[in-house]
Structure 1
Amino acid sequence: MPASPLAIPDYRRFWIARFFSVVATSGMVVILGYQLYDLARSDYGMSITQAAFQLGLLGLAQFLPLFLLTPVAGVVADRFDRRSVAGFSLCIDLCVALTLAIVTQLGQLTLPLLFGLAALHGTARVFIGPALSSIAPNIVPAELMPKAVAINSMAWQTGSVGGPAIAGLLFAGHPSLPYWTSTALLVLAAFCIFGIRRLPPPAGSRDTHPVRQIREGLSFVWNDRFLLGCVTLDLFAVLLGGATALLPVFARDILLVNGQPVGADGLGIMRAMPGLGAALVAIVLTRRPIASNVGIKMLLGVAVYGAFTIGFGLSHNYYLSLLLLAGIGASDMVSVFIRNTLVQLHTPDAVRGRVSSISGLAISASNELGEMQSGLAAALLGAVGAVVFGGVGAIAVTAIWFVLFPELKNARSFAARYRSS
């Protein structure tokens, strides 16, 4: 038994691929959102509220492919080599980054083109998510999974810190540079994924009709109250509490430094701060993983996430806002770490791809539909009112789930119910 998942060569390749892909896509999405908002304000003459609503539509454009294709992606991850599924999906994202680099370089950006590329990015993500999530339990012993989840989260969060910050700095040099960088990083990520040994699908996974497999995956989550509570907690809490969708509004029109809007550079730092807070917590969790009273701590993490969101909405000081964003990421990391570990260890390998796809749909719904909700709320309440409303909603969801799903608060440890094949 190795002391750390990083002692396993395939896991190292997996971790590097995850890190590079997160740096690439997080930076790409931040700049895409800023360009869309700026294009709507300047070239299309939209007001602040109208342009903010376009950000909501951008979230919807990324979510629709996820909503439509998630059941298919879960079956694909359970029927085929998960390494190949993840690698080819990364190549689709690579094409999105390359196209954005070329059209930005040529100055040919339009709103319809940005919406179309966002939808293609969402399509790639729907297949990357369940395939990647299902790889780790196949290459890491169950006893090391809590550490693996923490290290996975560190890759995700450090990438989320570096991606937007680097993209913001590169954007200042030339608007196309973030996309060229994302293209190169996605090439490296795909190379690492294809370097992992083949991962044959679980025995008998192709004996059942795909439509029946979709029903089995949905039924498994629906009938397991513990998994259902974990998945829906994240869905509704982040759906209401997401503040990051409106960060371009805060960067361009609300937060000032020396009397000037913080702009794209400030937006990059703002988008990086939740990842920084989460990365610091992830580093602690790799050394001292949470082991007791995991359910209560997961619920508490969501409630604190809502409180920091309210604080960010009310803040008009740029530097205080950065600290509050870091707090949002840190509290969210606690909840995500516990939920991801519980979902992986409480799911049999034969349905892990489908369960991961459903969990991924919940996460994506909370993010992309959260952007849509934030855009609509901003049109009605203003950006500040929308963020505060969302934070209050996240706290309310935590209280409701505490009552509806006692299985969550009663979870004491990460004891696995199933062994990986």
Structure 2
Amino acid sequence: MSEPDESALNASSFTKFWVSRTLSSTSFQMLSVAIGWQMYDLTHDAYSLGLVGLAQFLPMLLLTLVVGQAADRFDRRLIVVLCQFLEAIITVLLLVGTLAGWLGRTEILVAAAVLGACRAFEGPSSSALLPMLVPKAQMQKAIAWTTSAGQTSQIVGPTLGGVLIAAGPVYAYVTAAAALLIGAVLTLGIRMARTVRIAAPVTLRSVFSGLVFVRRHPVILGTISLDLFAVLLGGATALLPIFAEDILHTGALGLGLMRTAPAVGALLMSLALAYFPLRRALGPILFGALAVFGLATMLFAVSTSIYLSLVALLLIGASDVISVVIRSSLVQLQTPDEMRGRVNAVNSLFIGTSNQLGEFESGTLAGWLGAVPAAFIGGVGTIAVAALWMVLFPSLRRLRSLDGEA
């Protein structure tokens, strides 16, 4: 009896990985829409929307060094499975709380915090798992497919979430829980081409080694920190429920469309980059994209038309994916296998900070000034940060290729 073809096993495992990641990310997007909508429906308070983002971010901040060590010392596949299973349990509890009528502001914040903790472990472990599934020569193709999974989930998740919430939050929670359980089963069936786990004892040096690695690579540090501060200031997604209900008057369906629009723009840009890869002048392209991001955020802030708002959100997503492609490629291609969990944990912290903490910043500023001024100021801040980073990171400004060539 012949042995199974290794390339076929790798293709099968990568397919399971891709589908599982898509289901998990789609579920998280659906849950974000459902939780945000329920929170605003219960409180009609911008501060509470901001607290949802903070509740998701704090576990990521507090657990960054722990999750990096876990991803490099334990089976990354099993970590992802356990996280997806626990996320399904929390989703079921949200479902029960909705049906029983005891789900309130505090319960939603606790659920958001637990989901944030699960994502803190799942994200770096899943990212670090990818190089174990494919040969190095196929890494760029695998990264492109993985990016498409994220964009697909960001398109399907919010739209499906908005449609299901219009029928009732219960339907959104049932669908998300089922998708998470299927994803966990698929992840459990993954077979890795190779494994890398460090056996050295945990020391203070090893705990902080991911941060040290990023600090010693100015191009990586500049790229991910630029994304952090620019998106943090320009992150208006937390305010979308306010724009949908109070400014554009579009309801839950409009909210779903607006949550989907940035991902549509990002997916279109991803496809464009697949046919026309970024090869030269990456630094100027990166800073130009951030300027577009800021201007589009300002346009969204002042728009009173759902159509113009959707165009602005499309531009936000398209410009943002450029930094995503550059950052992801640099991290995966320039990080050793045995450190990939810790470095991906740092990268996930930067991403989570720009998203969740950005939502908290936007919600708080909206509570002080109103949603429109908060979003507009955020766009101005993004452009200011891009200009500052051109001075602080000249090697990033002069970046020519994804191998770090200046």
Same fold (TM over 0.5): yes
Match of 1:122 among 105, 116, 125: 116
| 1:298 correspondence with 2:291 | no
Deviation at 1:21, TM superposition (A): 0.9
1:15-56 deviations in whole A, cap 9, x for unaligned? 111111111110111110111011003xxxxxxxxx001111
In structure 2, the residue matched to 1:58 is 52
Match of 2:373 among 373, 385, 409: 385
CA distance in 2, matches of 1:254, 1:229: 36
In structure 1, the residue matched to 2:145 is 151
Contact 2:87 2:118 in 1 (8 A): yes
Structure 1's consecutive aligned runs of 4 or more residues displaced over 4 angstroms after TM superposition are 4-7, 198-201
Within a 5 Å distance, the mapping from 1:12-411 to structure 2 comes to 12-41=15-44, 51-198=45-192, 202=196, 205-255=198-248, 261-411=249-399
Q: CA RMSD in A?
A: 2.0
Deviation at 1:336, TM superposition (A): 0.8
Change (3 A) 1:281 1:143: same
Number of aligned residues:
399
CA distance in 2, matches of 1:6, 1:403: 48
Secondary structure (helix, strand or coil) at the match of 1:197 reads coil
Q: Which amino acid aligns with 1:241?
A: G
Deviation at 1:231, TM superposition (A): 1.8
Contact 1:147 1:289 in 2 (8 A): no
Secondary structure (helix, strand or coil) at the match of 2:370 reads helix
Deviation at 1:371, TM superposition (A): 0.9
Structure 2 residue runs of 5 or longer lacking an equivalent are 1-6
1:329-352 deviations in whole A, cap 9, x for unaligned? 111112211111112112111211
In structure 1, the residue matched to 2:3 is none
Q: Which amino acid aligns with 2:383?
A: I
Q: Which amino acid aligns with 1:404?
A: L
Q: Which moved more, 1:192-201 or 1:132-141?
A: 192-201
Change (3 A) 1:402 1:141: farther
CA distance in 2, matches of 1:108, 1:81: 37
Q: Which amino acid aligns with 2:318?
A: A
Deviation at 1:6, TM superposition (A): 12
Secondary structure (helix, strand or coil) at the match of 1:413 reads coil
Contact 1:248 1:267 in 2 (8 A): yes
Q: Which amino acid aligns with 1:252?
A: E
CA distance in 2, matches of 1:301, 1:144: 27
CA distance in 1, matches of 2:99, 2:273: 42
Q: Which amino acid aligns with 1:324?
A: A
Q: Which moved more, 1:345-354 or 1:5-14?
A: 5-14
CA distance in 2, matches of 1:357, 1:53: 28
Q: Which amino acid aligns with 2:114?
A: L
1:96-145 deviations in whole A, cap 9, x for unaligned? 21111221122322100000000000000100111011112222233332
Contact 1:151 1:286 in 2 (8 A): no
CA distance in 2, matches of 1:178, 1:354: 33
In structure 2, the residue matched to 1:10 is 13
Q: Which moved more, 1:294-303 or 1:330-339?
A: 294-303
Secondary structure (helix, strand or coil) at the match of 2:297 reads helix
Contact 2:50 2:361 in 1 (8 A): yes
Change (3 A) 1:416 1:146: farther
Secondary structure (helix, strand or coil) at the match of 1:176 reads helix
1:44-100 deviations in whole A, cap 9, x for unaligned? xxxxxxx00111111111111111111100110011111111111111211121111
CA distance in 2, matches of 1:382, 1:189: 40
Deviation at 1:216, TM superposition (A): 1.6
**Identical aligned pairs, as a percentage?**
44
Secondary structure (helix, strand or coil) at the match of 2:208 reads helix
CA distance in 1, matches of 2:136, 2:296: 34
Contact 1:74 1:355 in 2 (8 A): yes
Contact 1:314 1:384 in 2 (8 A): yes
CA distance in 2, matches of 1:140, 1:24: 25
Please report the TM-score for the alignment, with normalisation by the length of structure 1. 0.91
Contact 1:11 1:139 in 2 (8 A): yes
Q: Which amino acid aligns with 2:215?
A: W
Structure 1 residue runs of 5 or longer lacking an equivalent are 42-50, 256-260
CA distance in 2, matches of 1:131, 1:140: 15
Q: Which amino acid aligns with 1:379?
A: G
Deviation at 1:178, TM superposition (A): 0.4
